[in-house]
Every structure is written in C-alpha cells, then in structure tokens.
Amino acid sequence: MSLTNASLLDVLKKQLFFKVRSYYGAFTSLVTVQAIALLFSFNGVGQMGLSGISISTYSGSMIFVFTAFWAFITAITLTTKPYHYIDFSFVTNRMSSHLSTFGMLVVYSFFASITSTFVGILLRVILYFKESNKLIITNHFFLSFSDLLVGIYIGALYLILFAALGYFIGMFTQINKLFGFVIPALFIGWAIYEGRTFDTFSGFTFFAFETSILIFTIKVVVTVAILIWIVIAATNRLEVRK
C-alpha cells in the first residue's frame, strides 16, 4: 500500500485523531502549569499606597504567559524522536507527519486558550469573594460574552504562534543540535539590538500592537505557514528515521 492509495487528507485525519487522543500527557501538564500560574496570580502584579489607602492590582496575564510557555515546550517535545517515530505506524510522508502534528498543536492551542480564559475567570471569582470586605474597582472586571469569545480566539492565535516557533526550533534542533543554540541566540540578539537602538522590538510590536482582528489573524496565519513550510522543505530530504 502507498500514498497513491490513500489521499493526503485521509492520512491527515487518521494521524490527527490518533495524536490528539494519544498525547494526553500534554493535557496533564497544561492543568499543572495553569494551576501553578493561578497560585502565583494571587500575589498580584502591583501594589501602591496613598493617604492610608492600599491598592492591589491583580491580573490573569501570568496564566496566559505560563500557557504560552507550555505551548512552546510542548511543540518542541513533539519533535523529539520518541514522538516522531509514532508516525511510522501509518502510511505517511514527512508532509503529512508535520501537518498532522501541527494540526494537533492547533487543537491544543484552542483548548488551552479556553482553559486559560476560564482559569482567569476563576481567579476573578475567588478574588471577588476573598476580598468581599474590600472595595473592588470593577472596570473590566466583568466580561461580556463577546469579549470572552474574542479573548479565546486571540489567545488561541498567540498560542499557535508560540507553538509554531517551538516546532520550528525543535525540528531544526533534530536536524543539527547546533541550531538549538543558534536560532534562540539570533532571536535574542535581534531583540537586544532593537531594544537598545529603537527602544522597541519589531517582532513583538508587529503582532501585539495590531488593532484589527482580521489583520492580526492574517499576520499569524502567514507567519505560521512560512515556518511550517520551511520545516517541511528542510526535512523533506532527510532519511526516513533520522
């Protein structure tokens, strides 16, 4: 049997469903990471005092930062040989292997964005009752349903972007261990240079300062597509089990 007898779409479906069901360890680590982030979030992100009044600021941003780190590390983990060899249980090629693995990361990213959002809501609920004897400034404290959906969607796109970066670095590290140091070094060097020269980092502002959801989506999709295309092109000529 060969790929001529099984369409790429059929192979992708089988691999994707199998991987999503099999890599349950990623969900366990996600729960652990978000639980730790929730505990850290209770410390608040800022505190100030004025005329005997103490003001504490809380944010769920740490929950998302931890989740983004989880997406990045999970993507790198999936490029290691123990996970990579599972693909050989299927009639497959490198393209279907990469696409199905990244498809799984997309599914994970949306799931993680949903859980991250609801953990953030849980933080608000706990603080609301825990600090019930104190005055709570409720601006942006309560979320509308539309804000909730937009937050989940934007969060998922960011997680997909971090997963793509992790997968890109992980796959090139499998090609040559030196890439595991060179790529992060180049990225950090770029950030330091722009930070000192322009007091900003274009790699951050390109995404974070975008106000249009549509354009932001296009930016993420195009960036991710380029990264995955480079990975497929770079690994296409490698030996089957390298």
184 belongs to a structural domain: no
Q: Which residue has the higher pLDDT, 177 or 221?
A: 221
pLDDT at 92 over 80: no
pLDDT digits (tens, 9 = 90+) for 3-39: 444 577 777 888 888 888 778 788 899 999 999 999 9
Written as one string, the DSSP assignment of 147-197 is: HHHHHHHHHHHHHHHHHHHHHHHHHHHHH-TTHHHHHHHHHHHHHHHHHHH
Report yes or no: 87 and 129 within 8 Å, Cβ to Cβ: no
Report yes or no: 30 and 66 within 8 Å, Cβ to Cβ: no
pLDDT digits (tens, 9 = 90+) for 151-179: 999 999 999 999 999 999 998 888 888 88
109 belongs to a structural domain: yes
What integer pLDDT is reported at residue 114 of this predicted model?
96
Identity of the highest mean pLDDT range in 23-27, 83-87, 129-133, 200-204 = 23-27
- Strands (E) located in the chain: 46-50, 53-57
185 belongs to a structural domain: no
What integer pLDDT is reported at residue 91 of this predicted model?
53
- Percentage with pLDDT > 70 across the chain: 79
Task: Please give the average per-residue pLDDT across 194-222, as a whole number.
Answer: 84
| End-to-end CA separation in angstroms for the chain | 22
196 belongs to a structural domain: no
Token pair belonging to 242: 């390298």
Of 46, 201, 70, 198, residue with least CA distance to 137: 46
192 belongs to a structural domain: no
Instruction: Give the total number of structural domains in the chain.
Output: 1
Global pTM value: 0.84
Query: Which residue in this structure is represented by tokens 């030996």?
Result: 239
Report yes or no: 64 and 117 within 8 Å, Cβ to Cβ: no
Q: How far is Cα 179 from Cα 194, in angstroms, rounded to an integer? A: 22
195 belongs to a structural domain: no
Token pair belonging to 215: 């354009």
Torsion angle defined by CA atoms of residues 163, 166, 172 and 174, in that order, rounded to the nearest 10 degrees:
-100
Report yes or no: 102 and 162 within 8 Å, Cβ to Cβ: no
Residue 41's CB: how many other CB atoms inside 10 A?
A: 22
Of 159, 83, 79, residue with least CA distance to 116: 159
Cross-strand pairs, 57:
46
Range of the domain at 128: 8-45+54-175+210-235
131 belongs to a structural domain: yes
Task: Please give the average per-residue pLDDT across 115-134, as a whole number.
Answer: 82
202 belongs to a structural domain: no
